[in-house]
Amino acid sequence: MSVKHFVFAKFSEVPEQCFLLFILILLMFLVSLTGNALIALAICTNPVLHTPMYFFLANLSFLEIGYTCSVIPKMLQSLVSEARGISREGCATQMFFFTFFGISECCLLAAMAFDRYMAICSPLHYATRMNRGVCASLAMVSWGVGCVVGLGQTNYIFSLNFCGPCEIDHFFCDLPPILALACGDTSQNEAAVFVAAILCISSPFLLIIASYCRILAAVLVMSSPDGRRKALSTCSSHLLVVTLFYGSGSVTYLRPKASHSPGIDKLLALFYTVVTSMINPIVYSLRNKEVKSALRRTLSKKILLAPG
């Protein structure tokens, strides 16, 4: 009989360690939610930021909020509660949303790189080629690809039978630890997950690399040092976010199965679900004068409108 209920493994048998990790993750989660919500609010309420670059940044903030909310609350509950169980349907739902937001972010980061390529390599045609309709289409494609891949992967994984054990050696319902609990030979399923990861993680990454190669070539032929510095400064935040997100994601999903370790997988999971989502708004707010100014205006309005 197939397992209908799963249980997340304990992080540690020492309650103090679990409590400390709970506090740490909770603080990072709150910083991530607050930072991404403020950036999205600042962009939506400040007309000066209604440009393609900030439109994509607002979408990235919404994705980060969904990404963390799909995983962290249950993770926090499992750390300090004996109620570490999750139903098969609940696990499938969590996997879908985690995959949906994660793949959408991969695609959106590629769209952001394309936007920077157009702005730097084709500045005279930028306004017409990156108009509102084009930006909306790129965002919709990013979200749509994430939804389709999330549905396909989740349905494919949960069409399998799970005969036990029912303990998930992870913080949440991620693809590799769930596959490890399936009955029989899962080599074909693992191959399908790997191919999907190659297509959905590597393809956007290659587009990002291609965009930045063209950007670098364009920057190198600029005669003005100030022009080169300004062009590169608009890309630095995005490059840092790409490095953090793709670095941890690639190590997790694209390395050989033989090198997988539950302990390392958990640490990587914490990094790409909590740490990167917390760092992203900090990176964009600290390195971008327009975002900082918009955040100050937004916060000033909120303070003035606050009762009392």
For 142-197, how does the pLDDT look when each residue is reduced to its tens digit (9 = 90+)?
Answer: 999 999 999 988 988 888 888 767 888 888 888 888 888 888 777 777 777 778 77
Q: Where are the beta strands (DSSP E) in the chain?
A: 5-8, 85-87, 167-168
Lowest mean pLDDT among 119-123, 131-135, 224-228: 224-228
Q: Which pLDDT value is given to residue 142?
A: 94
For the chain, the average pLDDT equals 83
Task: Please give the DSSP secondary-structure letter assigned to residue 257.
Answer: G
Point out the least confidently predicted range of 45-49, 98-102, 209-213, 221-225.
221-225
Residue 55 to residue 135: CA distance in whole angstroms: 8
CB 111 within 8 A of CB 56: yes
Q: Give the separation between CA 92 and CA 172, rounded to whole angstroms.
A: 11
Residue of 196 and 109 predicted with greater confidence:
109
Q: Is pTM, for the whole model, over 0.85?
A: yes
Q: In this predicted structure, what is the pLDDT of residue 296?
A: 77
Asked if residues 274 and 32 have their Cβ atoms less than 8 Å apart, the reply is yes
Read off the pLDDT band of 260 (50, 70, 90).
Answer: low
Residue 259, pLDDT above cutoff 80: no
Centre a 10 Å sphere on the Cβ of residue 137 and count the other Cβ atoms it contains: 12
Name the residue with higher pLDDT: 65 or 293.
65
Choose the most confident range, by mean pLDDT, from 75-89, 91-105, 279-293.
91-105
